[in-house]
Structure 1
Amino acid sequence: MRQLTRGARIPGVSRDIVCILLSFFMATATSAESAPAADAEIHYDITVRIDPVARTIEGRSVITAKTSEELTLVMGRRFEMMRGRIDAMSLGPSAITGRMRAWRIPGDKQMPRRIEVHWRGELAALDTSLDHPQTLGRSEPASSGEGTFLPDSSGWYPYIADKLASYRVSIELPGGQRGIVAGRLAEESETDEGYRARFEFLAPTGGIDLMAGPYKVETSTMRGAGGKPIQLRTYFHPQIADLAPAYLRSVKGYIEFYESWIGKYPFTEFSVVSSPTPTGFGMPTLTYLGIEVLRLPFIRSTSLGHEVLHNWWGNGVYPDYAQGNWSEGLTTFMADYAYKEREGPDAAREMRRGWLRDFAALSPGQDAPLTTFTSRTHGASQIVGYNKAAMMFLMLRDLLGRETFDHALQAFWREQRFRIASWADLRSTFQTVSKQDLHGFFDQWLTRAGAPVVRIAEAGRTKSDSGYRISVTLEQTEPEYRLRVPVAIRTGEGEEMHMLDLERGRQTFTLEVRTLPLEVILDPDLRLFRRLTPDEAPPILRQIMVDRTAMAILLPESGELRSTAETLAGKLQNRSLKLVPATDNLPSVPALVIGLEEQVDAWLARHQLPGRPEIVRGKGSAQAWTISRSDGVTLAMVSARDAASLTALIRPLPHYGRQSYVIFEGAKAIGRGAWPTRAQVLKLD
């Protein structure tokens, strides 16, 4: 599921008329619930009437602009402007760019300026058959009786390009429907004429997403830090309305948790909203999740907390996207990873192992510096923007200590709340609080692509007066990093941990232990972000999914079975297929092999490759597993009992990229796992 912060428009998710750089302006509002609209340079007053069944929308917007500069008014091309005025003058003709219309608003020293627009249009039909990636990739405003979603990126309302804004939005819907946008619910009513609600967001923010549906609304009030009342709501479809109490309790727990860790919750409410499509979005004051997602028992203990935390990072402090999005990595560290730490050290280590294993699955050139990450667009960008960034924060906490790290986070929140902040602002706060120079640390992890490869080159022991002296030589690849490398010395009495400061390509360290040392182990707890060596990182399915050089070998030769195999390969690789005939020699690049059981077994035997692993043999209706060839090239095998079993894999299998093997009965995974990682160990003789 994708967790998307929508507090500011970002490239790849927002409007296609411009790639917005947000470093230009931010008002210094003290809190979203109390900041007056007058603090915002741009303010929208919008009234919108929607008929979900007829899929029509009609609206009126009054835009107040307290700036004398030239502005650009933008709206989706699919919508018709019935009337538009700037003060007493009519709007001129529009220019068309892609899916958007744009009007030039000349500069004027007389302020404030008033822009009034009346518009209408037809919404697309809501398609509930789309899978999760397809849903996230669409920016059409869509509607039906089951639900309405008007993403900000669709241009469903007229807005001023490149400007943050405050707003008031009034929503009018037929009876039985409820609507919501981010912000404070100021007023709502239902009469014979229908439903009406007014929402306010009075701190400058990014775009406006609107959701509506036949919701059953449940409300609970909690007291936040300082006794402030916070309204918690669920907007759930009737079929999941019974889940509301548990979700309300969980949200309350997360707000209390993060208020104690970071500071006061910045808004007056938080809502969980269900969608008839498999969405996963986070906006200020709410999260929008698919009905089937909300039914999953683990969502309340994982993704929900991530979305609540985004109200501090991403929607409470806005990333400077022009210099990289830090909020996803920090949120992953303080939500997903923090929950694993609460489970215990083994669960936390397993998550770190997953991060490093995912990064090892990337082929050279697939990653990019963190300063270039804005939002998740594919598997490789998540591995960098979420996982690598989260592990960078872990290493920073290990360097500074937990208490100093937490004090710095709290200071960053106090200083930057409702401002645009960059990686440089984060570094500055951590430096001030820790009284350490962190330029080198941040520079190497933010501005470089890739990761260091570290290995134990040599190790030896000699007797000393106090016990034993160990010589350990570490090597790293270029470019050289300044690293604190954890090294364990295993003795007959246990393990001793040492932190070695590796600053050159090759460096020798001398350590003293009292009892006989037996082995030297590199980073046994996996706390250093690095590219694992092939021996350390067993192959996982994601390697075939994200590697742009990977080929597909489809063993069915024709007919419906061949078509099913092509569809499955396309879902797994999410790009145009590079097909290799099954009769060819083994390709020199990673390959995805799909076929029925007898076809897969015959193909493996013909190429003298290892047969079906014992752990999957004879189990379920279909299996997928990875093979590491003797030349280091990875294969992913997908084997099914029959055509129906192969078809059943199309939706679920792409979600198991972190596994080395998965066993399915129909569409249900009944077994999964990763081949064990092997630490770098050097025995001492």
Structure 2
Amino acid sequence: MISMMKQTTGLHAFFPRVFREMGAMLFFILANLIATSVSAASGGTPDASDVHAEVQYDITVQIDPVGRKIEGRTVITANTPDELTLMLGRRFEVMHARIDGSSLGPAATSGNMRGWRIHGEQQIPRRIEMHWRGELAPLDASLDHQQTLGRNEPASSEAGTFLPDSSGWYPYIAGKLASYRVAIELPAGQRGIVAGRLIEESESGERYRARFEFPSPTGGIDLMAGPYTVESRGMRGTGGKPIQLRTYFHRQIADLAPAYLDAVKGYIELYESWVGEYPFTEFSVVSSPTPTGFGMPTLTYLGIEVLRLPFIRATSLGHEVLHNWWGNGVYPDYARGNWSEGLTTFMADYAYKERESPEAAREMRRGWLRDFAALAPGQDAPLTTFTSRTHGATQIVGYNKAAMVFLMLRDLLGRDTFDRALHAFWREQRFRIASWADLQRAFETVSGRDLRSFFDQWLSRPGAPALVLAEAKRARSDSGHVITVALEQGTPAYRLRVPVAIRTEGGEEFRTLDLESARQVFTFDVHNKPLEVILDPDLRLFRRLKSDEAPPILRQIMVDRTTVTVLLPESGEARNAAETLATKLQNRAPKLVASDKLPAAPSVVIGLRDQVDAWLAKNKLPERPEIVAGKGSAEAWTLSRSDGVTLAVVSARDAASLAALTRPLPHYGRQSYVVFEDAKMIGRGAWPTRAQAVKID
């Protein structure tokens, strides 16, 4: 479920917005400029009074959710002599616009935005005033999560309003961090929120009003509103600092508020003890009528149905709370790679599995390695190029691989040193833009070790080492037995600490072998007679698994851009359902091929049960596995053909059962097989893996 989440505000929203408006080259130039000019940024935190932004927004906005109308007034104070670009969404009508008392003049338009060039001026501050209004798009609750993430329209209905920063719903200065004050006015019964500190709120007659502030530099403003029931609870953070916790929930889930407030309190206490003081004065959980998953400073915005899932409080919620330290408390230097998603995944999702059991943590590591094995050659990229998740491949690298890099670093340095380095990094970089190099420097300083080779190979190189346990043999010695082990990897070689297990007549023994070349032979003693050597038995090394170590999963055909699609229904509802499902599975228009021959490329085959059985038999492929046969209304499974090509098969009882898979099936990419009854998953699993091992005679 964490894969559904998207961190949106702070610089994480700011940079993608700039990227869309200004182009890739300027994006990276701007990132570097900000990295050298911003010394601190925070919001809703009382100890940030000495931090001042060059730009301040004072916004008053009235929203009519039923009529989908918005009207606002903004005063922008710019304490900089720089040339500025003022931006506003093109859908909005400008009623009045002036700078220092003079007309702002005509705007240039590009895409869905319009902009005004404001010449540099030595006399500061400059005051920009704008009165604007417009119509909001209808909020479409039928969209799935991916479609919701892909839209940047400001949308509204009685059930909810979401004005993403990227939609240009308010006038802003492009390329500048800013502090802000926002006053929201809504009809009675509605409540609104933006990131920051709630200063005051009131409801009288037919109107609700609230005022928020974010007093220090940040990247953008997202606004949410709805017919919320608000619950609040106070807590004391480190040093006794008061922190206000709130839920803004739709009536149908209002009963979940106490449990969510308890969970947020627990996460803040956990990460204050692990990292350092919570950087803000509040945190809110806000419900959305769409299947949303967003994280912002001081709040998270989650779909109603997502919040109902019983495991969200134990997983995704903590991930979003932790982003207030990593991502919104220390800003990633996106021009040099976004480290915050990997560190948050490691300290939230993975940490929760470690607390659950060693087996659960190992299974998560197995999932990460399986996911990476599902990528086709050329689909991954160095971690220094990762900015945000755009599709499955970027998540596998930017979240999973990065998290495992932190795991390997902890294994290398030890838990105590690792945690002390994180404390130091937080103390030094809070409310600053920090890079992977800053992280490396913190770990080197605390550990006293040169970590250049570790960070260089894991951050700058795409891919992963492909290790082979090439040989293992034994000989007698005076002290017992001598084992000789040969390890191989590709070139250029990685420097690796390779765990191996030696199964002996007296139990298991473990060694860590320092591999630095393409082939290396190691010799060591064991007391009891060795029977078998096993490579990386606990899956603690990021590497490309061999085919028998990573049987096929559904994600392989989802992320592989060479995947082709065979649709067995020729017409009618079943054909339409099959084509829609293929599009959802691959997140693109499918490349269709004829069903009369076996494709040479990785393939997904979709059809009704009789059609699927006939197609498998015709192509001399294994019939449907017993574990899915005769169960539910639909099933999907993977198989490896004799030529090594991966095939995914989706089979359903009828057209309606096929259509019911459209939403749920794409979320089961880590499985080798899934069984559904209508849209409900009733069975799933992954084909067994087999570790690399060599028996010793």
| TM bucket, shorter chain | over 0.9
Counterparts of 1:32 and 1:650, CA distance in 2: 41
Aligned counterpart for 2:461 among listed residues 424, 448, 451: 448
Out of 643, 648, 653, the residue aligned to residue 636 of structure 1 is 648
CA contact 2:14–2:220 (8 Å) conserved in 1:
no
Give the Å deviation of 1:28: 2.8
CA distance in 2: counterparts of 1:27 and 1:52, whole angstroms: 39
TM-score by length of 1: 0.98
How do 1:274-289 and structure 2 match up within 5 A? Answer: 274-289=287-302
1:18 aligns with 2:22: yes
What is the one-letter code of the residue matched to 1:138?
Answer: R
The answer to whether the 8 A contact 2:493-2:516 is kept is yes
> Within the alignment, does 1:405 sit opposite 2:414 as a pair?
no
Partner letter of residue 31 of structure 2?
L
**Corresponding position: 1:621 with 2:654:** no
Q: Structure 2: how far apart are the matches of 1:187 and 1:665? A: 49
Shift of residue 193, structure 1, vs aligned partner: 4.0
Q: Deviations over 1:283-302 (max 9, x none)?
A: 00000000000000000000
1:6 aligns to 2:19 (yes or no): no
Residues 644-674 of structure 1, C-alpha deviations (whole Å, 9 max, x = no match): 2111111111110000000111111100000
Map residues 73-472 of structure 1 onto 2, 5 A cutoff. Answer: 73-472=86-485
Cα offsets for 1:109-130 (capped at 9, x unmatched): 1111111111111100000111
Paired-residue identity, %: 75
Residue 591 of structure 1 is matched in structure 2 by 603
Q: TM-score, normalised by structure 2?
A: 0.97
Deviation at residue 542 of structure 1 after TM alignment: 0.4
Looking at structure 2, the residues matched to 682 and 10 of structure 1 have their Cα atoms a distance apart, in angstroms, of: 52
Larger deviation, residues 241-250 vs 73-82 = 73-82
After superposition, the Cα gap between the structure-2 partners of 1:10 and 1:329, relative to the gap in structure 1 and judged at 3 Å, is farther
1:209 and 1:63 map into 2 onto residues whose CA distance is 17
* Whole-angstrom distance in 1 between the partners of 2:88 and 2:50: 23
Report the counterpart of residue 510 of structure 2 in structure 1.
497
Instruction: Using the TM superposition, give the Cα deviation of residue 12 of structure 1 relative to its aligned residue in structure 2, in angstroms.
Output: 4.5
CA drift at 1:417:
0.6
Counterparts of 2:218 and 2:502, CA distance in 1: 52
* Distance in 1, Cα, partners of 2:551 & 2:257: 42
1:464-515 superposed Cα distances (whole Å, 9 cap, x missing partner)? 1111111111000122111111111111122111111111111111111010
CA distance in 2, matches of 1:273, 1:57: 21
Deviation at 1:3, TM superposition (A): 3.0
Question: How far 1:40 sits from its partner (Å)?
Answer: 1.1
Measure, in 1, the Cα distance between the counterparts of 2:664 and 2:225. Answer: 28
Q: Contact 1:15–1:153 at 8 Å: present in 2 too?
A: no
CA distance in 2, matches of 1:31, 1:379: 32
List, as ranges, runs of 4+ consecutive aligned residues in structure 1 with deviation greater than 6 Å. Answer: none
The one-letter code matched in structure 1 to 2:580 is T
Per the TM alignment, residue 30 of structure 1 is displaced from its structure 2 partner at its CA by 7.6
Give structure 2 stretches of 5+ with no counterpart. none
Aligned residues: 684
Deviations 1:302-332 (A, max 9, x none): 0000000000000000001111110000000
Q: In 2 relative to 1, CA 216–59 (structure 1 residues): closer, same or farther, beyond 3 Å?
A: same
How many angstroms does 1:7 deviate by?
1.5
CA distance in 2, matches of 1:95, 1:459: 70
Provide the residue aligned with 1:542 in structure 2.
Answer: 555
1:565-618 deviation per Cα after TM superposition (whole angstroms, max 9, x unaligned)? 10111111111211111112x111110001111111111111111111111111
Aligned twin of 1:601: 613
Name which of structure 1's ranges 336-345 and 641-650 shifts more when overlaid on structure 2. 641-650
1:140–1:154 CA contact under 8 A, matched in 2: yes
RMSD of aligned residue pairs (Cα, Å): 1.2
Question: Which residue number corresponds to residue 476 of structure 1?
Answer: 489
- Return the alpha-carbon distance in structure 1 between the equivalents of residues 482 and 505 of structure 2: 15
In 2, distance between residues paired with 1:164 and 1:644?
A: 50
Do the aligned partners of 1:3 and 1:307 also contact (CA within 8 Å) in 2?
no
Q: What amino acid is the match of 1:591?
A: S
Measure how far apart 1:29 and its partner are. Answer: 5.2
| Residue identity opposite 1:683 in structure 2 | K
Structure 1 residue 154 displacement after superposition: 0.1
8 Å CA contact 1:355, 1:388 repeated in 2:
yes
The code of the aligned residue for 2:393 comes to A
Q: Which runs of 5+ in 1 are unaligned?
A: none
Go from structure 1 to structure 2 and tell me whether the alpha carbon gap of 1:101 and 1:50 turns closer, same or farther (over 3 Å shift).
same
Mean Cα deviation higher: 110-119 or 290-299? 110-119
**Are the structure 2 counterparts of residues 377 and 644 from structure 1 closer, same or farther at C-alpha, using a change threshold of 3 Å?**
same
2:511 partner SS: strand
Q: Deviations along 1:508-543, whole A, 9 cap, x unmatched?
A: 111110100111100000000000011100000000
Does the aligned pair in 2 maintain the 1:7–1:314 contact within 8 Å?
yes
Q: Give the deviation of 1:421 after TM superposition.
A: 0.5
